[in-house]
Chains A and B, each alone.
Chain A
Amino acid sequence: MERVPILKIGGVLLVSIQIDLQDQSVLALQEDLAEKISTTGAHGVVIDISAVEIVDSFIGRMFATIASISQLFDADTVVVGMRPAVAITLVELGLTLGGVRTALDLERGMKILRVLGEQRRGPSSDEDADPLRALL
């Protein structure tokens, strides 16, 4: 079974899905991610699915599940780079990903997380201490 790598950039965890997802990989990813958020104390999760061409209802639900898991650790989830065909499929399946934020690409997704993070800490926080600020 292939595992999806989880990368840490500042306070954000980046999950870039570049393989054909099997149900087993999805379950493993959810476990790994919960583990990782808990140990790193990340405040945001970005799931990049720009390489995903085929989705089913199971994968569709995965986004909502990951979002709920992150929510428990007080982290925001952004799904980025969804292809038109994938979006249409999810809508046809009736999955609207209610609690999940979406962005056109990784850059915009990171921006959303930065804004959310600022709101969370309040605007008075020291900007130099924010690793994302340096990144963008």
Chain B
Amino acid sequence: MVAEAGHAHRLTELLRENVDRLIEEWVTSAAVVLRGRSVRAELESEFREFLATLLPVADGDGRNLSGAEYAEIKALLEEFSRSRARQGFTPSETASSVFALKRIVFELTEQEEDPELFRELMRFSTLLDALGLWTFETYARAREEIIQEQSEQLLELTTPVVKLWEGVLAVPLVGTLDSARTQVVMEKLLEALVETGSEHAIIDITGVLAVDTQVAQHLLKTVVAARLMGAECTISGIRPQIAQTIVALGIEFGDITTKSSLADALRHALRREGIDVVRRAERRTV
């Protein structure tokens, strides 16, 4: 694929001779797509750096981008694509900046009638396509990383263990339950039981919209694990629809205490602790 020894790569030479004109036209055409959201000078310095890195490998056809010679240009594009992703550009806008170079190079070589140059041009075009697609890939990866991070943070945020009373902990669950989340809930609750020396735990599922057999299974596991550690676990806040689902699915809660509301569950826990909540005698009116 590389030009034969002694036979210089004509296209590279041509590009090298016209660097300034190329950059000028490239920036103009890319700025149209980006509609003034990027500063011209910034684009120019970016493109100049890009072209300087591209020229040494311009004689390849980019069919196999994993080669070591492309490492530098790939790293540069990755940085380029990431910063664009952060600035809120779409992947198409980022990639079209790369593709814009193609048209300019075609215009540059229009007058030439050398078939060898034409073949080189075709290979160069394939290389640019591959590089453009690479920005797409990097963009998608950057977004995936952000999403992954956010979902992990969400998992932590939505499962607080709160202390209701001396020796009584509660976990208000909100949203959908899946195995990963129930696992987090289970671990956090059990850790908190040990740390605070609490003998009662309440899992409140008022905010849970759906319960299937798997979720019920996870809840039961949590209750049994708490029991193994010597704590009592109550489930509260089962919605009417969910109660129907549970019965329809034939899920057995066995000897696990369930209460209709968090207040009932708290009263139950307090009674087990030997605490009675009584209304104070009515205050005497003066």
- B residues within 8 Å of A by Cβ? 186-187, 190-191, 193-194, 197-199, 221, 224-231
Contacts and interface: CB of A to CB of B under 8 A. Distances in A.
A101 B227 CA distance: 9
B229 A84 contact: yes
B230 A88 contact: no
Contact of B228 (A87, A105, A108, A109): A87
A82 B193 contact: no
Interface string A85-104: 01110111000110001111
Contact of A82 (B198, B199, B230): B230
Contacts of A33: none
Q: Could you tell me the dominant secondary structure of chain A's interface residues?
A: mixed
Contacts of A90: 225, 228
Contacts of B228: 79, 82, 86-87, 90-91, 96-97, 102
A84 B224 contact: no
A3 interface: no
Nearest to A95: B228
Interface of A: 79-80, 82-84, 86-88, 90-92, 96-97, 101-105, 108-109
A79 B191 CA distance: 18
Contacts of B224: 91, 96
Contact of B190 (A84, A101, A102, A108): A84
Nearest to B198: A104
Nearest to B221: A91
Contact of B230 (A86, A91, A108): A108
Contacts of A96: 224, 227-228
Nearest to A105: B197
B199 A88 contact: no
Given A80-B230, A87-B226, A88-B186, A104 B194 contact: yes
A88 B228 CA distance: 9
A104 B225 contact: no
A50 B25 CA distance: 73
B187 A88 contact: yes
A102 B191 contact: no
Contact of A104 (B187, B191, B197): B197
Contacts of A92: 221
The 4 closest A-B pairs by CB, nearest first: A84-B190, A103-B230, A102-B230, A87-B225
A104 B231 contact: yes
A81 to B, nearest CB: 8
Contacts of A83: 194, 229
B22 to A, nearest CB: 63
B221 A104 contact: no
A79 B230 CA distance: 8
Contacts of B226: 87
A103 B232 CA distance: 10
Nearest to B186: A88
A103 B187 CA distance: 18
A91 B191 CA distance: 16
A91 B226 CA distance: 10
18 contacts: A82-B230, A83-B194, A84-B187, A84-B194, A87-B190, A88-B190, A88-B225, A91-B221, A91-B224, A91-B225, A91-B228, A101-B230, A102-B227, A103-B230, A104-B193, A104-B194, A105-B197, A109-B230
A70 to B, nearest CB: 17
